[in-house]
Amino acid sequence: MLRTVIQIDEEKCTGCRLCVDACHEGAIGMVDGKARLLRDDYCDGLGDCLPACPTGAITFIEREAAAYDEHAVAQHLAARAAAEQIAEDDLDRTVANLTATPTGCPGSRARSLVANATSEEAKADGGEDVFAVAELPSRLVQWPAQIKLVPTQAPYYNGRGLLIAADCTAFACASFHERFMKGNVTIIGCPKLDQGSYAEKLAAIMADNDVTSVTIARMEVPCCGGLERDAAQAVALSGKDLPLNVVTFSVTGNVIA
């Protein structure tokens, strides 16, 4: 049928999400950082989103479009609410998984982390259109992550590989979480900024826990050589025959060795 619906100019859209919040029907979602009309039958054509847009990216057009479907909108909003509840439940589980007593600095308190549900997991729980749940979950399985702050013994080490990463690696490599952190305990440091050697502490972590392997992620810059030397020395000091792998990144995030 021929009717009035909104149109979003992606060139003008800055991804501010104000229109998403203003749309009571949930007709607008974020796709690749831009606002997008999700389905024609979600848009009632009343334009509550128009005054919310600071760049004038939203306009009315008259075109062939599916009729506004109040029932479909209700189902969509229920699915979105379910996804938001999943995210809340994950946060509650994260808090419940604290592995240390609530004393000392909160920033250095050891804890296990539960990753956010993916969209596919949320859909399996009854939501067809899910935008409140992160598409790419964090692969960090514990807190803290700094070598200077992590405990030498904790249950989250057991049965996992140990990824010893230079601070800059995850910022240089866009796929670092999925390619290198997934399935590992990730601890980070910078030998140029931190005082002293990491070798003894790393050796204690390897010796006192059931670590399955050791991977060193470093940048191509010379100062990262200190991290590699300390990690290799730690493997030797631990007394264990652990597989040792070194991954070197260029400053543009490419693996060069």
Element counts in the chain: helices (H) and strands (E):
7, 10
Check pLDDT > 70 for residue 132.
Answer: no
Of 244, 193, 246, give the one whose Cα is nearest residue 218.
246
Please list, in sequence order, all residues whose beta carbon lies within 8 angstroms of the beta carbon of residue 103, skipping any fewer than 6 positions away.
Answer: none
Residue 192 φ/ψ, nearest 5 degrees: -80, -30
Check pLDDT > 60 for residue 236.
Answer: yes
Average pLDDT, the chain: 85
Please state, in angstroms and rounded to a whole number, the distance separating the CA atoms of residues 83 and 128: 10
* Burial status of residue 62 (CB atoms within 10 A of its CB: 0-12, 13-18, 19 or more): exposed
Domains in the chain, please, with CATH? 2-68 (3.30.70.20), 139-257 (3.40.50)
Is there a contact between 18 and 72 (Cβ–Cβ < 8 Å)?
no
- Percentage of residues in the chain having pLDDT higher than 70: 82
| 172-219 per-position pLDDT tens digit | 999 999 999 999 999 999 988 888 899 999 999 999 999 999 999 999
Name the residue type at position 51.
P
Residue 81 to residues 28, 68, 154, Cα–Cα distance (Å): 15, 21, 36
**pLDDT at residue number 122:** 45
